[in-house]
Every structure is written in C-alpha cells, then in structure tokens.
Amino acid sequence: MHDHDHEPGALEFRVQALESLLAERGYVDPEAMDRLIETYEHEVGPHNGAQVVARAWTDPAYKARLLSDGSAAIAELGFTGRQGEHMVVVENTPEVHNLVVCTLCSCYPWPVLGLPPVWYKAPPYRARAVIEPRAVLAEFGMEVGDDVEVRVWDSTAEIRYLVLPEQPAGTEGWDAAALAGLVTRDAMIGTGLAAAP
C-alpha cells in the first residue's frame, strides 16, 4: 500500500491526463500549476507542521497551548488558512500511538502538511486504518508493541488532526530549527516517526 519508489498508478495517470487536457484547452496555465505545487511542496508543506512540532518540543508552554487549542497555537506561528481552521493536536507517548485518517473523503490540514499524499486519499488506507490500524502501520514499516494503545482519529470537514510525534532520543537541548529537520509528514499523520538524529 505504501511504497515511496512506486510506479505511477492509474489515478496518477488520470491526473496527468486531466492536467494535460486542461492545459491544451487553455483552462490551466502549466507554469501556474507548477508554481502552486512548488509552493505547497516547499513553502506551505510539511515544513510548517515541522516548525509547530519543533516548537512544542522546545517550549513546554507552547506545547500546552498546542494540545489545549491546536488552531490558536498553530495560528501563533502564522499557519492558518483553508483546511486548517479547526485543528486538534494529539500527542504520541510511549503508551499511545495516534494515527490520522479521513474515512469519508480526504480532509487534510493543508496549512501544516501541504499536499496530501496519494495513499492518504486511497480507499484501502481510508478503510483499513480504522479496522486494522496495526496492520496498516506495519505496512508503513512501523511495528507498534502490544503494550501501546493505537488511537485512530477520523478527520472531518469540521475537525482536522495533527499528530505531535515523540521527540527522538538524543535530541534533548537541540534548537527548534535543528529539530524541525527531523519531523516528517508521515510522523505528523502517525504513519511514521520523527527521524533519528
């Protein structure tokens, strides 16, 4: 289900065909589309969420605000906008691992995570994450111990979730900029962990 080095699937080919058709007919400017994608991948994308997480790891007062009112705390860093209005942040601990899914469609917090990955919108992920989350996590390379509770959070149009991953061991005392480089998009969805130093 989750393969970083995959061949484009049927959905990706359809999207490429649709983009080509829209460009040929003059409905879409390919350069504008490239700029939009570039913005979401490199400026808006998971880099924003990584800054939120790193700030929480280095500032206990901010972390408390983030867990209490995710929307307001995220807005403190200037990350607001459509699809990010009602944010709830859930914290991973040694006892609890959180996983985010949207079973009805693909509600996703764009201001902090950027463009949703293809697998997030795929029906197998959306269905199986709720029914068999441990199996899904294993497919992402995550073995979660039987002593760890797995909580699945279903995003909706009203509420979107962001996972606050555990800070990697050995990074105590690091500054927020260095820590942000360890935070992955998958860690903020719950299908991965923050990178080890």
Helix (H, G, I), strand (E, B) or coil at 98: strand
Q: Residues 20, 68, 71, 102: which is the catalytic one?
A: 102
Mark whether 68 is an active-site residue. Answer: no
Mark whether 20 is an active-site residue. Answer: no
Mark whether 71 is an active-site residue. Answer: no
Q: Residues 20, 68, 71, 105: which is the catalytic one?
A: 105
Where helices occur in the chain by DSSP H, the ranges are 10-24, 30-39, 45-58, 60-68, 70-76, 110-113, 118-121, 123-131, 133-139, 176-180, 185-189
DSSP H or E stretch at residue 77:
none
Q: How many angstroms separate the CA atoms of 86 and 89, rounded?
A: 10
Q: How many CA atoms lie within 13 A of 1 on its CB side?
A: 19
Mark whether 102 is an active-site residue. Answer: yes
Q: How many angstroms separate the CA atoms of 162 and 46, rounded?
A: 11
Q: How many angstroms separate the CA atoms of 57 and 172, rounded?
A: 9
Q: Which residues are catalytic?
A: 102, 105-107
